[in-house]
Amino acid sequence: MIDYENISASEALRLAKQGDKEALNEMVWRLEFLPAESRNNPVEQCAWQDYWFEKAANAGHTDAKFRYAQSLINRVMNAEDRQKAMKYFQSLSDDFNAGKLKSEDDRESGIVAKLRLGTMLCEGYHTQRDAIKGVKLIEEAENLTNGFAVFGFDSMYKLGELYATGLAQHGEEPSIADLEKAIKYLDIAIKRFNPEKSDQRKLDLARQLFETQKKRIVTKKTIGDDDTNFHGAGERRKKMMDLSDAARHRLEADKAALARLRQRLAREGW
């Protein structure tokens, strides 16, 4: 057994060039190979991690698939990154279903991948929207974890938002049942909030969203309509995909840094 975390830089590089998936994943953290002027540059570091995460993911490394997909969806929203992330989440979900994920950590990644993929299918941001398949995946994840026991504040808040905004079904307007699910997940999120891991503002938003859904249910039950002027699913999708100039600039900077890195590594035989 090779202790990948403690092998020398030259040995990690040698094994990575042989296609060793563990070594490829180890290269993500070997910033000593970056030029000195790039090591404290977040954009250059992100490009370096992207390059090796993708290599390790394509070699079949479970944690690399998950971390790379997570990284892709946590950035400026664009079609290329989101579709690539969905590919890796789908792969992890398939691996879970096929019984290929043996360790507890890998199985947890497979379950969370189902949740992420389901959410993305419901949202339909720069991807084909399929709320039926998305909700099915989310329910699979819930059943596998005894009520999302392994998921924290952010996951629960995301699900609450999903049902509140009408993204969990094909129509634009959430039903009372959808709003009740939104309340359920937001309540779990609020209870699981950890100030060391999430911003206080997120907790405030969760509480506000929670109270709004309770008012919407009362209104729907009494007058059969929704008078809260809550944005529908279609309007929300359009708003989320409309990048600001600053976001476009960040996206261009990220892509340029990755292109420069690929060129340098290509000259070195990669």
Report yes or no on 201 lying in a domain. Answer: yes
Contact between 213 and 177 under an 8 Å Cβ cutoff? The reply is no
Task: Measure the CA angle with vertex 189, ends 224 and 202; round to 5°.
Answer: 95
- HSE-up (13 A, CA, CB side) for residue 237: 19
Residue 51, domain member (yes or no): no
Q: Of the candidates 133, 52, 130, which has an alpha carbon nearest to the alpha carbon of residue 93?
A: 133
What is the per-residue pLDDT for 48? Answer: 93
| Structure tokens given for 49 | 């991690």
Residue 177 lies in a domain: yes
Does the pLDDT value for residue 175 go beyond 90?
no
Is the residue at 157 inside a domain? yes
Q: Are 44 and 13 in contact (CB under 8 A)?
A: no
> Per-residue confidence at 9, pLDDT binned at 50, 70, 90?
confident
User: How many residues appear in the chain?
Assistant: 270
- Evaluated on CA atoms 243, 249, 250, 251, the torsion sign reads positive
Distances (CA, A) of 71 to 4, 75, 89, 258: 22, 7, 12, 14
Nearest Cα neighbor of 207 from 181, 183, 231 is 183
Work out how many domains the chain is built from and give that number: 1
Q: How far apart are CA 180 and CA 158, in angstroms?
A: 15
Answering whether pTM is above 0.85, one says: no
Q: Given a cut of 90, is residue 234 above it in pLDDT?
A: no
- The answer to whether position 195 is within a domain reads yes
Whole-number Å distance between alpha carbons of 256 and 35: 16
Count of alpha carbons within 13 Å of 268, Cβ hemisphere only? 11
CA-closest candidate to residue 54, choices 262, 263, 266, 269: 262
What pLDDT score was predicted for residue 250?
86
In a domain, 45, yes or no: no
Tell whether 81 is covered by a domain: no
Q: Which domain holds residue 232?
A: 152-242
Q: What is the mean pLDDT of residues 225-248?
A: 69
CB 126 within 8 A of CB 82: yes
* Residue 182 counted as domain residue: yes
pLDDT higher than 80, residue 232: no
At 171, is the secondary structure helix, strand, or coil?
coil
Span 26-55, pLDDT tens digits:
999 998 888 888 888 888 999 999 999 999
